[in-house]
Structure 1
């Protein structure tokens, strides 16, 4: 791995130069970054994938949608279409992407939009929403969000990472200064306070930034197309776990801790399952998957015994009220300023 990093280092230096110049031109106003008459909260990261943006977007939707007309804006990664599309419950993952479809199915009354050009989308939405949640738009500098939240996964913090292609960083670590909040995701349920302090030190927070730590919470039921089963149903069953996400390790560890009997078929993030793979899945007695993968697998498996285990964002040290207050404050302060 060290030799691999050394070989790719010159390309990382070039990539760093290009991204730094780009950010400099935006910061100095040579490139235009547009603000809008609606609060735009961006959830993004410095790393490529696997930080838990979808659960955080879902958390924010739950937090804000009862008192605001919330719109979720996503690029729609992995879709086979182009341009601006409003997601419907009846949409397919090929049309809109698995993550936007997941949000729409969970929150059918919330408008979800996909568009690769976020500026074009916000122009259409700016008078139709109280709040826009922009998914994975931290590097989309054409838009100037009201507030940036960046996520970094526990165990693979951006502070210890390297720029592409040597590492997984999309831009320099200094880019984190644009965020008002940093959330360390996928923490173990119990982390020593000294460890949290060390992480906060390593991330070198700015004066204006706050940090939060979250873990993955798992629901008590398995969800299928036609029925819901208690998680304990798996105690007496042998099943196959199918994952096509960036970092399935927390889910695998959770199921192992439950002492369930399963085999794991792991695929790359946003994997497009082939006909041959679908045929193999149909030979299994029971399949468990992630909610994101369920959006792609269920239409092709039909009435097959396929279930997913829902997840949710949980804050460590009971700090969710502080997080919630800060987000509501961002929205309310924007409205008062207008």
Structure 2
């Protein structure tokens, strides 16, 4: 009964907060809607890249699975086409266009781009630039053979006009139940979904009933263009991998993450290992030696620190310098489309692969 009262009180406080902030949210939504209209009518100019361009983004602030989605697209297309990724490079200390190389760090290009580079190496050109239009021009000049450009988190970056927009929607935080900032977590109004060429509902339960999928499709279709497909994907964690070695089979672990929504990561660890301690930092946390020092007091013989892949790119240099890299593991993560795998692959071929090849041949 106490939990029910606490939940009821929490929900009531949340409702009052939303109501209080709603006028400001309406103003914010109006400004973003006006901006969209000005871009759509050509008052503000948009640049169409020379490369066939696919944008992966969301309406919601925080993690919706953009990085695993970009990696899924890289794996799908890398044997068919030369690829470049272009990100803002959140949290980096550099400015302008930067091409990832073996000397790149999270400080020079950002943690997610560094993750792409460390995972795919020279198979993909990994770049960052806060001005996506300028970044795509630089890629075209440096690498004219690039046929596919993947924009990471550029859904609201209207200065560049992608050929295809993939909108991600977190199953646990659907945009159709949310409100624009500051009353909620939307970067723009729900109507922004009308720019999507496809919607991927991410972080779904592994076995989501067909009836539930259909209900979600109907809710999403209120805001998308007619015929816009909706696909469903879940998160698949793989066996922990050592920072300095291969797969490990730990029993007791310390969970460490600095990501937007750590719940799925923590739930997986709780279900599969004995979690001695959970250390959670804000998204894109800039780890330092003091973080490592405070963390290691929880680590005993036979215990491993398990992190996300995103955190690994920042922690690896620190753990290596301290001589404790062998006590750190990370969880590889993949997007799993389950029964939607074939329909999604068919859509990728029809919406991206075929027009991309036609563009390369000069067919209009």
TM range (shorter): over 0.9
Secondary structure in 1 aligned to 2:64?
coil
Q: Quote the Cα distance in structure 2 between the aligned partners of 1:98 and 1:45.
A: 19
Greater mean deviation of Cα atoms: 92-101 or 278-287 = 278-287
The match for 1:156 is: 173
Q: Quote the Cα distance in structure 1 between the aligned partners of 2:195 and 2:258.
A: 31
Contact 1:89/1:101 (CA < 8 Å) preserved in 2? no
Cα displacement (A) at 1:274: 4.2
Q: Which runs of 4+ in 1 moved over 3 A?
A: none
Q: Quote the Cα distance in structure 2 between the aligned partners of 1:19 and 1:292.
A: 30
The match for 2:10 is: none
| Larger Cα-atom Rg | 2
Alignment deviations for residues 74-113 of structure 1 (CA, whole Å, 9 cap, x no partner): 0011111111000123311111111000011100021100
Q: Quote the Cα distance in structure 2 between the aligned partners of 1:209 and 1:125.
A: 30
Say yes or no: does 1:234 pair with 2:256: no
Q: TM-score, normalised by structure 1?
A: 0.94
Say yes or no: does 1:179 pair with 2:192: no
Q: Quote the Cα distance in structure 2 between the aligned partners of 1:180 and 1:100.
A: 24
Q: Quote the Cα distance in structure 2 between the aligned partners of 1:62 and 1:209.
A: 24
Q: TM-score, normalised by structure 2?
A: 0.88
Q: Quote the Cα distance in structure 2 between the aligned partners of 1:139 and 1:50.
A: 15
Contact 1:239/1:262 (CA < 8 Å) preserved in 2? yes
* Superposition map of 1:185-204 within 5 A: 185-204=202-221
Say yes or no: does 1:301 pair with 2:326: no
Instruction: Mark the runs of 5 or more structure 1 residues left unpaired by the alignment.
Output: none
* Superposition map of 1:93-242 within 5 A: 93-109=106-122, 110-126=124-140, 127-204=144-221, 205-220=224-239, 222-230=240-248, 233-235=249-251, 238-242=252-256
Counting matched residue pairs gives 332
Cα displacement (A) at 1:254: 1.4
Greater mean deviation of Cα atoms: 12-21 or 258-267 = 258-267
The match for 1:252 is: 266
The match for 1:316 is: 338
Instruction: Mark the runs of 5 or more structure 2 residues left unpaired by the alignment.
Output: 1-13
Q: Quote the Cα distance in structure 1 between the aligned partners of 2:275 and 2:155.
A: 40
Cα displacement (A) at 1:43: 0.2
Contact 2:29/2:180 (CA < 8 Å) preserved in 1? yes
